[in-house]
Amino acid sequence: MTEAILLVGGQGTRLRPVTVNTPKPMVPAAGVPFLAHQIARAAAAGVTHIVMATCYLAEVFEPYFGDGSAFGVHLEYVVEDEPLGTGGAIRNAAQRLTGGPDEPVLVFNGDILTGLDIAGLVASHQEADADVSLHLVRVEDPRAFGLVPTDSEGRVLAFTEKPQTPEEIVTDQINAGCYVFRRSVIDSIPAGRPVSVERETFPGLLASGAKLHGKTEDTYWLDLGKPESFVQASADLVRGVVASPAVPGPRGEALVLPGAEVAEGAKLSGGTVVGAGARIEAGAVVRGSIVLDGATLGADTDVSASLIGARAVVGARTVLDGAVVGDGAQVGADNELRTGVRVWCEAELPPASLRFSSDR
């Protein structure tokens, strides 16, 4: 039996893919709330008990995830009155774990999508007889992450969260947000106050000579901090670039959920999702996007890498590329909205108001 803690909360939580009005961690990726993929992937790797550590009300999650039995796990919720930080949340959630002091405990950040071999990480943790094992990935620009240099055996040499100076950037190897802790190590985290696992626990453990083992696995890995990456994650799940048992349909170029209406002649590709009650009109071309429930894309719209909120309406011929349209917003016909643009929930943009093209 393997137990896990899923971190979903915090003041600075980056799970803010869109301005939609639904609770943020429940915004669907590939047709289901993003966390469903993490839970299903953990279950598939043999995890049987998950404690979700949140600062949100449990009412946000419980109606959908319940006791976890639909996912084949026993799911519990622990709600912090005040955000306890990553380390404090782990310590607090561990009260619900049932394993002994030497048992491995998986811990996941709730805002990453990864193809990590979870069972493999647990196995290597036990083989290395480590106190904590960390999944590490290499990235081009490590500045927004926790830097984790290791020696040739994988032993962690330092942990520098979000380096501030060029001198601190000693590696492109970063903390991928998935750990295995020896249970007794979690119990050594101070209780009842905010603790950052990245800034306090890991450096403290290293200073005291604990064995932290880094496993650099070159696998699918995406941090969902930005809406662009959330849309990308959804598209990759639909296309099967990364596997999740929670995707409600076969892998392919598009996932059209029951109750959606796609006109003949509309073209869906690149892992596009069309939610229940959404309507895609004739001539629309939609690539790698999320169209949430009840939204409408008008005739001949051209939509790429965008997130269209629930009930939003996009008028004919409008071009969206890397855009986020909030729930219930109305974007008139003949607009052109590109990279990074955010339309507020319920906002109304008149026809032919905006374009990005040059005059020539």
| Sites for Mg ion among residues 4-23 (CB under 5 A) | 14
Q: Which helix (H) or strand (E) holds 319?
A: strand 319-321
161/327 with CB nearer Mg ion: 161
Alpha helices by DSSP H, 208-292 = 227-239
Residue 338 CB, nearest approach to ligand GDD (Å): 26
Q: Which helix (H) or strand (E) holds 126?
A: helix 118-128
Which does residue 7 bind out of Mg ion, ligand GDD, none, counting CB within 5 to 8 angstroms by kind? ligand GDD
Candidates 53-61, 122-130, 243-251, 285-293: pick the segment binding ligand GDD (CB under 6 A).
53-61
Which does residue 222 bind out of ligand GDD, Mg ion, none, counting CB within 5 to 8 angstroms by kind? none
What region does 284 belong to: left with phi over 0, alpha with psi -120 to 50, or beta? beta
Residue 177 CB, nearest approach to Mg ion (Å): 7
> Are 103 and 180 a contacting pair, CB within 8 Å?
no
Candidates 6-14, 33-41, 297-305, 317-325: pick the segment binding ligand GDD (CB under 6 A).
6-14
Query: How distant, in Å, are the alpha carbons of 174, 285, 302, 349 from that of 352?
Result: 45, 19, 15, 9
Candidates 7-15, 28-36, 296-304, 332-340: pick the segment binding ligand GDD (CB under 6 A).
7-15
Residue 343 CB, nearest approach to Mg ion (Å): 24
User: Angle 235-236-240 (CA atoms, 0-180°, nearest 5)?
Assistant: 120
CB atoms within 10 A of CB 101: 10
Binding mask 165-184 for ligand GDD (x = CB under 6 A): ---------xx-x-------
> Are 87 and 196 a contacting pair, CB within 8 Å?
yes
> Are 35 and 242 a contacting pair, CB within 8 Å?
no
Closest residue by Cα to residue 176 from 195, 198, 157: 198
Residue 116 CB, nearest approach to ligand GDD (Å): 12
Among 2, 19, 38, 109, binds ligand GDD (CB under 6 A): 109
Rounded to an integer, what distance in angstroms lies between the CA atom of residue 95 and that of residue 78?
A: 9
Residue 247 CB, nearest approach to ligand GDD (Å): 21
Among 111, 217, 236, 336, binds ligand GDD (CB under 6 A): 111
| DSSP conformation letters of 161-177 | ES--SGGG---SEEEEE
Rounded to an integer, what distance in angstroms lies between the CA atom of residue 311 and that of residue 302?
A: 18
Q: Which helix (H) or strand (E) holds 304?
A: strand 302-304
Classify 290 as helix, strand or coil: strand
Binding mask 191-230 for ligand GDD (x = CB under 6 A): -------x------------------------x-x-----
Candidates 81-89, 127-135, 258-266, 329-337: pick the segment binding ligand GDD (CB under 6 A).
81-89
Size of the site for ligand GDD (CB under 6 A): 30
Residue 221 CB, nearest approach to Mg ion (Å): 12
Candidates 38-46, 107-115, 179-187, 275-283: pick the segment binding Mg ion (CB under 5 A).
107-115
Positions that interact with ligand GDD (CB under 6 A): 7-10, 12-15, 53-55, 80, 83-86, 89, 109-112, 145-146, 161, 174-175, 177, 198, 223, 225
